[in-house]
Amino acid sequence: MDSLDSGQKFSPRHDPEWESALQFLPATDSKPLEKKPGCRRKLWTGIGLVLAAAAISLLTGLLVWHYHLRSDVRVKKVYIGAMGIRDENFLPSYEDSNSLEFKHLASRVKKQLKLIYAKNSVLAKSFLDSTVQTFSEGTGGDDGVVAYYQSEFDVHISQQDSLDQAIESLTVVAESQKGRQGRLMLRPTDALSVNSVTSRAIDPRMTRTSLFERQLFNIHVREPGRIQSPGFPDSSYPPNVYLQWRLRADPGHRVRLDFHTLILEDDCQQDFIRIYDSLAPMENQVLTEQCGYPHDCLSFLSSGNVMLLTLVTSEDKNFPGFRANYSQTAATQQRMSGECGGTFSGEKGSFSSPFYPSNYPPKITCVWKIQVPVEKFVKVQFNKFFLGNNSNECPNDYVEVNGQRLCGSKPDSTVATSQSNTMTIKFNSDSSYVDQGFTAEYEAFVPTNPCPGRFQCTNNLCINNTLQCDGWDDCGDGSDEEKCICEATQMKCKNGRCKAKFWECNNVDDCGDNTDEEDCVKCQPGEFSCRNKRCIREKLVCDGKDDCLDGSDESRCEKSLVLQKCSQFTFRCRDGRCISKLNPECDYERDCDDGSDEEGCECGIRPYRSSRIVGGQVSRQGEFPWQVSLQSYGSGHVCGASVLSNRWLVTAAHCVQDNGPNKYSQADQWEALLGLHVQTQTNEWTVRRKVRRIIAHRDYDRVTYNNDIALMELDANVTLNQNIWPICLPSATHDFPAGQEAWITGWGATREGGQTSLILQKAEVRIINSTVCRNLMSDEVTDLMLCAGVLKGGVDACQGDSGGPLSVTSSGGRVFLAGLVSWGDGCGRRKKPGIYTRIPKYRQWIKENCGI
């Protein structure tokens, strides 16, 4: 997820112009430092000023003359465009620019363009020439063939804007003609029936003068295959290139492109890919633009039988690039009879946007008609909903229910109800920018009793009665937690919710309006509460003195303090001195005088970014490069583990206990898979290693799961790569406060009692206060354990995730190992967090046993 991406440090680009501006500024500041000028000096200054003014006006005049009045300052402008042609059938030979047919049609298109430009005085004056680049089948509508061309103009520098306008207005003319079924007629007999002409200026990033390599690949996607950026996967893509892949499917088919890997520079102004629903990079047909390390769905479909993929790169910072699989999928007959939409007459049903979970194609309309028995109404619930940007009118892609449009992304379920026994739902996508779409379920209900035996939320969702007034917002609009009468064991929040009393004053906003954290008797107003529970005057915070006597009043200040006394809360430098800063290790700032807080910090990053889970989602390849799959000969994946170095892994001790016939305590029973993403698929970054030695904690307790930690030494070092990288170990005094976000990852079961998962899953949880946690769990939670989860339920680790990481991104951006998946009460149950081995408690033990 993006929160993890902040590891990168911003380094400003080298820009000479900007630098000279910076040097210039101090001159004004230095003025007051000058000696007071005498009278003579004033005179000279006056003369100097007059001369300077004269020089400036002369220069200005010259520039004006040069750019506006001199008749020979002309520029070349190139526009790209597409022409839709009626009454022509697409011939296979149009794919070959050397064929006679291609040349013939191309020359007719050129003539036609010339004629169109001749009708506009601005265009006529400056038009030089057009070249036809390629043809494709028309995409539905009236077009038989689409021609893609470039037109070159030569214009006086002052006329550039009117040329742009003329080009844009051309579109309008042609389109209004189209509305009246008219034609842009050509006198000669070989006139073309032109349906539409769309021309656009080229994206300036694609005309950067630094781009020295341009290359074009023509690919027919009838046979599935793959494309990748040059050098992939062994080296990063080349700088300053503009590459185009023209993908063409058989007539009546869509092009499908699925990305397997996509890692580019984070700044889309520098390196990016774009996908077009066209063979020319036309702005109005962009399906997506991507850069960095996108985590969204990366499967795309065209509306017609063509697609264009472009890659543009800049001088510096080059990354691995991409690999994508292409194929084609039949469309025509479905397009005619609706490859989406339909009629439903059952009491219940479900449907989704076309090709879900891939991105829906552009220019598609689907209509679902639902009809239920006369005495009933219809309710439809959208579970997933990603339709472009949020906007009021939803002019682009939308779902229309009862005549009302929905668009944008909706994090919670959205419900709509009908006022009769029928409902019509329409989905529409326009010609650019696609998204993942939606999934929906519908249900018939009796209007007088919409939620039989269940609670009806204000937003019309039905939830189990037991979920009402239990302190959790299950409706998504809070309506199940309104007007509640709290029980004796609960406190009443100001917003009317009831929350268990033991959540009062636990530093987490459980009420949602923070009222459970107000009026907590800690320190007086105007006082600061130290971590050792002392109270000091607020004024003393960050005053450079250790007033709390545990450094906590100086722990979040700009400057770290060297303390007289060390405590359980303070970081100890190698020289034995302790500093006040909280979690100073590997935060890119040298806090210890000996620099020891920044040593051994190559960990916790995703190298190519510049640098069994319940309720989770699939991760992206390389997103958690420290994740390991521990497999035993015979049983396949058993546990998770984390990479600590090129030789050592850490896992849970309970994973390496003999279990009946399985001799899990024996090193030779194991195999570690590093850099793995999909269980059954290894690739060039996956490394398989035998285990040489297992060091389980001597005090591991099989009953309480105390000290649930073990180290594994690999039989040979691994070479780190973009999918294999160590995670940072927190120091013994590292604090993971309650409420902090953390990630759990693994191939374990995706629900209690369920199957392990094929693709590495990730889920976001929060660290839970230990006192709260002890109150929730029936088994003992010791100080050597850490609780994390989502107390509402539904998000947790599960069988098969054991030994894997609970990771936290620190403020500096590095990822630290906070815990190891250890145990839980079922999986994902409400009010039952997951219990993890608390890693800071084992910092010394790890050092002693493997030297890291």
Please give the residue ranges that form the binding site for ligand ARG (CB under 6 A).
748, 796-802, 821, 823-824, 827, 834
Q: How far is the CB of 706 from ligand ARG (least distance, A)?
A: 14
**Given the structure tokens 């939670």, which residue do they identify?**
781
Q: How far is the CB of 714 from ligand ARG (least distance, A)?
A: 22
Q: How far is the CB of 644 from ligand ARG (least distance, A)?
A: 20
Q: How far is the CB of 229 from ligand ARG (least distance, A)?
A: 38
Closer residue to ligand ARG (CB): 368 or 747: 747
Q: Which of 61, 67, 148, 138 is nearest to 102 (CA)?
A: 148
Instruction: Report residue 809: phi and psi, to 5°.
Output: -90, 125
Is residue 708 part of the annotated active site? The answer reads yes
Q: Measuring CA to CA, how many Å separate 237 from each of 240, 262, 316, 373, 825? A: 10, 12, 11, 60, 48
Active-site residue (options: 802, 807, 810, 822): 802
Closer residue to ligand ARG (CB): 102 or 743: 743
Cα–chain center distance at 622: 14
Reply yes or no: is the peptide bond before residue 251 cis, omega within 30 of 0: no
State the pairing for strand pair 578-579/562-563.
Answer: antiparallel
Three-class SS of residue 494?
Answer: coil
Q: How far is the CB of 689 from ligand ARG (least distance, A)?
A: 21
Nearest-5° angle of CA 262, CA 266, CA 267? 125
Q: What is the rounded CA–CA span in Å between residue 799 and residue 640?
A: 10
Closer residue to ligand ARG (CB): 687 or 787: 787
Tell me the three-class secondary structure of 366-410, residue by residue: EEEEEECCCCCEEEEEEEEEEECCCCCCCCCCEEEECCEEECEEC
Is residue 802 part of the annotated active site? The answer reads yes
Per the structure block, which two tokens stand in for 696?
């389980």
Is residue 480 part of the annotated active site? The answer reads no
Three-class SS of residue 68?
Answer: helix
Per the structure block, which two tokens stand in for 643?
């990479």
Strand partners, 444: 378
Say if residues 256 and 359 touch (Cβ distance below 8 Å): no
Closer residue to ligand ARG (CB): 26 or 753: 753
Closer residue to ligand ARG (CB): 138 or 824: 824
Q: How far is the CB of 826 from ligand ARG (least distance, A)?
A: 6
Per the structure block, which two tokens stand in for 749?
């079961």
Closer residue to ligand ARG (CB): 394 or 768: 768
Strand partners, 630: 639, 672
Q: What is the rounded CA–CA span in Å between residue 562 and residue 582?
A: 12
**Given the structure tokens 């069994």, which residue do they identify?**
612
Q: What is the rounded CA–CA span in Å between residue 398 and residue 203?
A: 27
Residue 619's identity, in one-letter code, is: S
Strand partners, 571: 579
Say if residues 817 and 744 touch (Cβ distance below 8 Å): no
Q: Which H or E run includes 60?
A: helix 39-64
Closer residue to ligand ARG (CB): 456 or 659: 659
Q: How far is the CB of 659 from ligand ARG (least distance, A)?
A: 10
Q: What is the rounded CA–CA span in Å between residue 124 and residue 118?
A: 5
- Number of helices (H) and strands (E) in the chain: give both, helices first: 9, 47
The count of C-alpha atoms lying within 13 angstroms of the C-alpha of 325, restricted to the half-sphere facing its C-beta, is 6
The count of C-alpha atoms lying within 13 angstroms of the C-alpha of 723, restricted to the half-sphere facing its C-beta, is 24
Handedness of CA 697, 702, 708, 713 (dihedral sign): positive
Say if residues 556 and 528 touch (Cβ distance below 8 Å): no
Nearest-5° angle of CA 755, CA 436, CA 198? 155
Closer residue to ligand ARG (CB): 290 or 657: 657
Q: How far is the CB of 542 from ligand ARG (least distance, A)?
A: 39
Per the structure block, which two tokens stand in for 694?
């297992």
Closer residue to ligand ARG (CB): 470 or 796: 796
Instruction: Report residue 178: phi and psi, to 5°.
Output: -60, -40
Residue 708's identity, in one-letter code, is: D
Q: What is the rounded CA–CA span in Å between residue 838 and residue 605?
A: 21
Q: How far is the CB of 372 from ligand ARG (least distance, A)?
A: 40
Q: How far is the CB of 796 from ligand ARG (least distance, A)?
A: 5
Closer residue to ligand ARG (CB): 323 or 829: 829
Closer residue to ligand ARG (CB): 298 or 710: 710
Active-site residue (options: 510, 591, 597, 708): 708
Closer residue to ligand ARG (CB): 284 or 657: 657
Q: Which of 347, 281, 274 is nearest to 313 (CA)?
A: 274
Strand partners, 785: 837
Q: How far is the CB of 350 from ligand ARG (least distance, A)?
A: 29
Q: How far is the CB of 832 from ligand ARG (least distance, A)?
A: 7
Closer residue to ligand ARG (CB): 659 or 849: 659
Per the structure block, which two tokens stand in for 241?
């290139």
Instruction: Kindly tell me the burial class for residue 762, based on how many C-beta atoms sit within 10 Å of its own C-beta (0-12, 13-18, 19 or more).
Output: buried
Active-site residue (options: 637, 654, 677, 697): 654
Q: Measuring CA to CA, how many Å separate 597 from each of 311, 500, 560? A: 41, 41, 12
Say if residues 678 and 686 touch (Cβ distance below 8 Å): no
Residue nearest to ligand ARG (CB): 824
Per the structure block, which two tokens stand in for 87?
């009454």
Q: How far is the CB of 2 from ligand ARG (least distance, A)?
A: 25
User: Which residues are marked as active site?
Assistant: 654, 708, 802
